[in-house]
Amino acid sequence: MAKSSNYTSRPMGPDGNIDWPAEENQIWQELVERQLKLLPGRACDAYMEGLELLDLPKDRIPQLEEINAVLRRETGWEVAQVPALINFDEFFRLLANKRFPVATFIRTREEFDYLQEPDIFHEIFGHCPLLTNPAFAHFTQTYGKLGLAASKEDRVYLARLYWFTVEFGLMNTTDGLRIYGGGILSSPGETLYALESEQPERVALDPVEVLRTPYRIDIMQPIYYVIDGMDKLFELADMDIMSLVEKAKALGLHAPKFPPKEKMAS
């Protein structure tokens, strides 16, 4: 996670609500409308069902309690307001306790198409629909428990598992390839690229291979790992993931499928 942020989370008022400015509600509306045009036939059914359950407002940023009312009813999860950036201890602790961290800021127009930090649009629109799904919810909580107990070195391996599933996962379905990763579902460019471009590799998910695969957060992904249905996340959560981490460490990392990041001129 980045060490500093250009954004500041908005505080809740005494009533538990956030007073969002009109311009930020307008940004939310434009982001939502853009993605809603792209996702039918591309997002997995579980995501689309979760989106329907959440019934997100299109003309304003939702209040967190509106999201919580649905998540509590469906899977016992909640979202938790956090500052723009949190440390890994807090991230894993929240997930382990069925609380999904949401930074209460939204991107500026200058970063409308892409920002490296997860904003409220990415977290709510990208991830929360699937937290209504029992398999996804179970996997995410299990991941949090593992990360909370893991060493700093092992957390780096676990981060790859999260990246290639929760953030950038694809799924085989009877209707064809579909998206379930929130990092794709909240990005118009990657929504099209992940499914329709001939550039990236799409490989059946093998957890040890995932743990050995480097990634970069600031590019379109050169490789996506594909699961066979949402229940595969139940199976994955119930594996001895930390023994797979040891196996991945013994085998070593794969060569990156991307060029090194260019250093900024000082």
CA dihedral 120, 126, 128, 131 (to 10 degrees): -150
* 28's tokens: 């939310």
122 catalytic? Reply is yes
Given the residues 24, 78, 122, 123, select the one marked as catalytic. 122
Residue type, 185: L
Given the residues 9, 127, 187, 190, select the one marked as catalytic. 127
DSSP-assigned states of every residue in 76-138: S-EEEEE-S---HHHHHHHHHTTEEEEES----GGGSS--SS--HIIIIIIIGGGGGSHHHHH
Given the residues 24, 78, 186, 187, select the one marked as catalytic. 186
9 catalytic? Reply is no
**3-state secondary structure at position 42:** coil
Q: Which residues contact 120 (CB under 8 A, 6 or more apart)?
A: 28, 61, 102, 103, 104, 105, 106
Given the residues 24, 78, 123, 167, select the one marked as catalytic. 167
127 catalytic? Reply is yes
Q: How many CA atoms lie within 13 A of 55 on its CB side?
A: 4
Between CA 217 and CA 212, with CA 92 as vertex, the angle to 5 degrees is 45
Residue among 42, 38, 41, 26 at smallest CA distance from 179: 42
DSSP state of 171: E
- Supply the residues annotated as catalytic: 122, 127, 167, 186
